[in-house]
Amino acid sequence: MANKLSEWIENRTGLNNLLKKALNEPVRGGAKWYYIFGSGLVFLFVIQAVTGIVMSSFYSPSSTAAWGSVYYIQEKTSFGWFIRGLHHFGSSAMIILAIVHMFQVFIFGAYKKPRELNWISGVILLIFLMGFGLTGYLLPWDQKGYWATQVATNIIGTIPVVGDYIKILHQGGSDYGNFTLTRFYTLHVFVLPISLLFFLFIHIALFRKHGVTPYWKLSEETLRTRIDPFWPNQVFMDIVFAIGMYAALAGWVFWNGGAELQAPADPASNYLARPEWYFLFLFELLKYCQGKFLIVGTVIIPSLALIFLFVLPFIDRSELRWPSKRIPFFAAVFSGLAAAIALTTTTIVHDNRDIHIVHQREDAEKQADRAKKLAANGIPPAGGLAIFLNDPLTLGEKIFNESCNGCHMVKGKGGDSGPDFTNFGSREWVSELLKNPKDNKYFKDSGAMPPVKVPDESLRDMTEFLLSKSGSLTNKNDESIERGKELVLKGNCVICHPIGDKEEKKVAPNLTDYLSETWLKEFIKNPGDIKFYGTRNNMPGFSDKLNDKELDALIQYLFSLSKDRLLVSENENNEVYTSGQSFFYTKLKLKTILDSFVCLR
């Protein structure tokens, strides 16, 4: 019965003959490991296609729903984080392997006659892969993708004459918005895959026509006598390589916990954007091509590089494939590769040393975590950005930037007339304050308090005790608290500072419940109160400027600056905010959100 069915299928499809032709392809010189890269790229493309189709069944390509749908894939669907991780990191793996494959082809001289069109179709496929990376980066509609894609489209916009038109065509208007996302989605899901499949078919057909390009040292006698069929030796090598790639890719996904998803895109934010790693060389190049030389970095150099790749088979006409006979071409290609690596490395090293970028990454990570916690309670129909409408922490940061940042610096940004609030209220911050109150990051020369001169261990104990009553300290050490209590209460601190009675007044601030929510609220309302700084106070009070709910939000933000403090709104049930806080600042934040959605449209 099985034989009859097989015969019936074969008579109507010719499937067996097709498989024989595919698997019996002659490999001159025998199966080799350096022939595996092309098959590896096809395997990675299949992974991208499968994972992309799975995600597209959940994804919603609109500026209001995109981030939420990606969040749902990442956090709510079974193994969604793994599927998205494979797709995200798989795109980088494809570009790396495509570059390796291209250099292997170049080194073997496989671009020479009669394989010119095979080489050209490969260059076109590499361009399509870069296009996949560019268009896919925007689809999560998060901060990193939104601003990084803007960098890329702004580069396109610098092309003389047609640059602005191309940019507007891709954006769907003068600004980024819903049309931008739908156009990038169309390119990523329909136009580029169809185009890539078309040229991939041409590429493979040309490869089958001309066969593999053997190692240049193999003699003609060896090539005639050593001819292996594609099956089973070369297929075995390709399968081993594919399994190895998948294992490495899956391991990398597990190691990173899936792909990153930052907070929803905010057009009103100030984000230091960087393109994806494979565009960093071009980003760095533009730093050296400013003003009237900008066109050199955006058009001339990239165009010359592409033209060189396209015409390489026609300018290197020699039949010799030995690398020693092609030194000028090797010098050109590898100097270009070295330059791209150097420019990329320069950007990475610079960014890792730039304190502003490092702090922004830290802030972005915190904001992303916050966004996910808020999204767990539901995403409003207005879109991902609207989740911050009900977030006291967002309001607190806004109030701080408007009312406090002019005097208090945070991570290098802001004024310096008041204490630096970087890591405010942490054990480290309080300990350093006790050690040297006149340090430039605290009270400078205006500080009247003398340094606390005790061993570092005792200083840590005193800090632990002072913060123990704040009600929001993480990982309390009871033994350290007891030792610190004895040092503080039996030492010189209580001569100037009341501790224990909230209403007691002395020459220095009352430290009862120091840096707790209640203490901070009273202090911010009236720092000139006699139980704080009295007549020596230089800070304005905010009792008539902020209501209680706004003060609560500001204090939450201050707590968030410390690595040792628990946010008031994060209770044991992991709820991010209470129902009573839901809309207490809607009026204040609503205009910002609505303005953002106007930009999105």
Q: How many angstroms separate the CA atoms of 128 and 205, rounded?
A: 18
Give the CA distances from residue 94 to residues 86, 91, 238, 243, 305, in Å, rounded to whole numbers and listed in that order: 11, 5, 16, 15, 21
**Mean pLDDT value across residues 60-64:** 94
pLDDT in tens, 118-158: 999 999 999 999 999 999 999 999 999 999 888 888 888 87
- pLDDT score recorded for residue 327: 93
Confidence (pLDDT) at 119? 96
- Res 579: pLDDT: 31
Q: In the chain, count of helices (H) and strands (E)?
A: 25, 2
Round to whole Å and give the CA distance between 125 and 144: 26
Q: What is the pTM of this model?
A: 0.78
Cross-strand partners of 410: 413
> Could you tell me the residue ranges of all domains in the chain?
22-357, 377-600
Q: What topology does CATH give the domain 22-357? A: Cytochrome Bc1 Complex; Chain C (1.20.810)
User: How distant is the alpha carbon of residue 577 from its chain centre?
Assistant: 27
- By C-alpha distance, which of 303, 308, 315 is closest to 332? 308
- Percent of the chain past pLDDT 70, that is, above it, reads 94
The two structure tokens encoding residue 237: 């090598």
Locus of tokens 């000139």: 528
Phi-psi region of 265 (alpha: psi -120 to 50; beta: other; left: phi over 0): beta
Rounded mean pLDDT, 542-571: 82
Tokens of 211: 């066969």
Q: Per-residue pLDDT tens for 422-481?
A: 999 899 999 999 999 888 899 887 777 889 989 999 999 999 999 987 877 888 889 999
Q: How confident is the model at residue 583 (pLDDT cuts 50, 70, 90)?
A: very low
pLDDT at residue 174 greater than cutoff 70: yes
In DSSP terms, which residues pair with 493 in a beta bridge?
none
The tokens describing 594, both together, are 């609505």
Extract the tokens encoding 473: 């300290």
pLDDT of 577 reads: 39
